[in-house]
Amino acid sequence: MRMCAESLMSAHKLLSYAKNGDLNGLQEVLSSGVDVDSVDSSGRTALHLAASSDKCGVIQLLLERGADVDVENKDGNTALHVAAAAGHVESCRLLLEKSDEDAENSETGNTPLWSAVAGGHLEAASVILEAGADPNFACEDGAMALHRAAADGNEELVLLLLKHGGQVDGLDQARMTPLHWAAQSCSLKSIQALITAGADVKKPGRDAWTALHLVAQNKAGIEGAVEAAELLLSKGADAKARTRDGLTPLSVVALDVEKRSKKISRQDDEMRDLLQAAEEEAE
């Protein structure tokens, strides 16, 4: 029991020193023979904690002492996932020396690149891509990092991923492209960047909904939907395209949405006028 208590105390010190960046304390406790991959109640190792707090000196020492970069915490994340999600660029660089740049989170399937993109961290994403990460790796629900960047309206990340070979018309499990994701969130900058890169504005997605259908419905009542529809129409979107249920973009405006505010209702009216004119022009 005494040895067990001593081991637990040493593990506690290891994790505390790693989190706080105490190199002297860390060297001392490591010399005592403590398991370098000891974990806390959340499954986090010293390497996870150092990555989270961007303690590069600690990361370097732990790697030299044989820390396992593949250990996952209870959320399925490796230390590289943690560093990427926090946007800690130098920590990412160090961990990439030993880590799989396309390591999958065992719970979600997400990669460190996805974690960096989801956090909006351009430089961290760039470092991971330069290390050889696959921009088209299928993560949660089959989506790629470009889908997430497009949905978030992060033009810089969209352009970065396209530069590194991101598939502009890549499909997730629901057969939705990055343009569909951008359309769902009415992300005007993403829509423009994807179209410039050659995205197919007419491509049908789930249940044959096109990007124009998605911005027309504007389920979340996002400002900029009308401008997004105007952009899609100017680039050749089909105002008369029909979903599997026979719906045109005009007929899905505010579909299944109740209690819209007066402001959003005015946007819906503008959208109807725009799409009505586009339908008539297409006849």
pLDDT tens for 39-91 read 999 999 999 999 999 999 999 999 999 999 999 999 999 999 999 999 999 99
Angle CA 139–212–277, to nearest 5: 175
Report the length, in residues, of the chain.
283
The 10 Å Cβ neighbour count of residue 130 is 12
Q: Which residues contact 162 (CB under 8 A, 6 or more apart)?
A: 146, 168, 193, 197
Q: In this structure, which topology does domain 14-28+42-68+77-134 adopt according to CATH?
A: 1.25.40
Tokens 């005009």 belong to which residue?
Answer: 250
**How far apart (Å, rounded) are the C-alpha atoms in residues 137 and 271?**
36
pTM for the structure as a whole: 0.92
- Helix ranges, the chain (H): 2-20, 23-31, 46-52, 56-64, 79-86, 89-96, 112-118, 122-130, 145-151, 155-163, 178-184, 188-196, 211-217, 225-234, 262-282
Q: How far is CA 11 from the centre of its chain?
A: 33
C-alpha distances in Å from residue 223, one per residue of 34, 97, 251: 56, 44, 19
Which residues have C-beta within 8 Å of that of residue 30, sequence separation ≥ 6?
14, 36, 61, 65
Domain regions of the chain by residue span? 14-28+42-68+77-134, 177-283
Query: Token pair 């399925």 is at which residue?
Result: 76
Q: What are the DSSP calls for 163-181, one per residue? A: HTT--TT---TTS--HHHH
pLDDT of residue 3: 42
Q: At what angle do helices 56-64 and 89-96 cross, to 10 degrees?
A: 10
> What is the DSSP code (8-state) at residue 103?
P
Identify the H or E element spanning 134. none
Token pair in block for residue 18: 């790693």
Residue 221, Cα to own-chain centre: how many angstroms? 22
36-49: b (≥16 Cβ within 10 Å) or e: bbbbbeeebbbbbb
In CATH terms, are 14-28+42-68+77-134 and 177-283 the same topology?
A: yes
CATH number, span 177-283:
1.25.40.20
Q: What integer pLDDT is reported at residue 5 of this predicted model? A: 65
Low-confidence ranges of the chain (pLDDT < 70): 1-5, 220, 254, 256-263
Angle at 116 between CA 114 and CA 118, to 5 degrees: 65
Map residue 135 onto helix, strand or coil: coil
